[in-house]
Amino acid sequence: MEDELQIAMAELDEDKTLLLVTERVQAGYTSMEIIESCRRGVEIVGEKYSDSHYYLSDLIMSEEILKEVMQILEPYIPVNAAQKGRSIVMGTIEGDIHDLGKNIIIYLLRSAGFQVNDLGVDVTPERFIKAVDETKASILGISVLLSFCVGSIKKVVDLLVDAGLRDKVKVVVGGYPVNQQVKEFTGADFYANDVTEALKIYHEILELEESSVSES
Ligand code: B12
């Protein structure tokens, strides 16, 4: 089905995108549905950049529009004040500075009551390990948008093994190039490349954790 919002985003039509987002909020679409349409539109921006139809300035424009979309959506994202579970460490892997998707996931997780320690972008494998160790996090979320940075995620998992932390933390990878193959190659436990799937995974991990605590 043709999605007007996805097309407006792909065409970098700022006014139309923001108008459609506002209309959809008022019509009762969920924030997740709206973010997903925008994400698909931005994916087309990326394809047009690969085909040399768009330039780097267009990638930057998509970033600006997406930030404005989030500003419209934030007041509509329900906040759950009750704190859930233990801490989550999140960051974008070394060499990669893409953070829009990571920030959206963090925003949604915090709104849902999760405690998230955001390490930012260009995070070295060693820094991920230090943060997991210090915060005793039970979930480590790693974002990657550049295919050539995937190898560093494998290094994170290998270092977790070396540090004796692998069985204490679930590793979740996410981002545009991530798929089952990337999950297997890196040794991660879960992967997601959209908001709905990402939040589902975090809730599932939390439930598993709670059931193992109540059994012990
Ligand atoms: C915007 C953008 C930029 C912005 C980033 C701004 C920012 N603050 O993030 C700027 C202009 C800075 C940029 C720079 C570059 N970019 Co860029 N960029 C994009 C673009 C168009 C959109 C990314 C985005 O924000 N999408 C929207 C968000 C909402 O989606 P998302 O990131 O996928 O996140 C969602 C899910 O994946 C998931 N998720 C994400 N992270 C995580 C983490 C976890 C734990 C979980 C569970 C889920 C999850 O949930 C999110 C919400 O739905 C993509 C195209 C694409 N297809 O992704 C190219 C793209 C990623 N960029 C690309 C390139 C090449 C570059 C540059 C090298 C360009 C250059 N010549 O300088 C630089 C690299 C800079 C660097 N070292 O990182 C390529 C990468 C190609 C590849 N295969 O490696 C892409 C794919 C474009 C293309 N098709 O060629 N870019």
Domain end point (choices 76, 98, 128): 76
- Which domain does 139 fall in, by range? 84-215
- Can you give the CATH number for the domain in which 41 is found? 1.10.1240.10
CATH code of 166's domain: 3.40.50.280
CA of 55 to the centre of ligand 1 (A): 14
Q: Give the residues surrounding ligand 1 with Cβ less than 6 Å away.
A: 35, 39, 42-43, 45-47, 49-50, 56, 59-60, 62-63, 66, 96-102, 104-105, 141-143, 145-147, 172, 174-177, 192-195, 198
Q: How many domains does the chain have?
A: 2
Q: What is the pLDDT of residue 134?
A: 96
Q: Mind listing the pLDDT tens digit of every residue in the chain (216 residues)? A: 679 999 999 999 999 999 999 999 999 999 999 999 999 999 999 999 999 999 999 999 999 999 999 999 999 988 877 776 668 999 999 999 999 999 999 988 988 888 999 999 999 999 999 999 999 999 999 999 999 999 999 999 999 999 999 999 999 999 999 999 999 999 999 999 888 899 899 888 888 777 766 665
Which residue matches tokens 């390490």? 119
- Residue 85: the pLDDT is 67
pLDDT, tens digit, 9 for 90 and up, residues 146-187? 999 999 999 999 999 999 999 999 999 999 999 999 999 999
- Here the contacts of 176-183 (C-beta below 8 Å, separation 24 or greater) are 176/43, 176/46, 176/101, 176/145, 177/144, 177/145, 177/146, 177/147, 177/150, 178/144, 178/150, 182/150, 182/153
192 backbone dihedrals φ, ψ, rounded to 5° = -155, 140
pTM: 0.95
Co-location of 110 and 34 in the same domain = no
Q: Which atom of ligand 1 is nearest to the CA of 191?
A: 47
Residues 93, 30 share a domain: no
Q: Are residues 109 and 206 located together in one domain of the fold?
A: yes
- Alpha carbon of 62 to ligand 1 centroid (Å): 10
Question: Mutate which of 17, 145, 171, 203 to test ligand 1's pocket (most atoms within 8 Å of Cβ)?
Answer: 145
CA of 164 to the centre of ligand 1 (A): 32
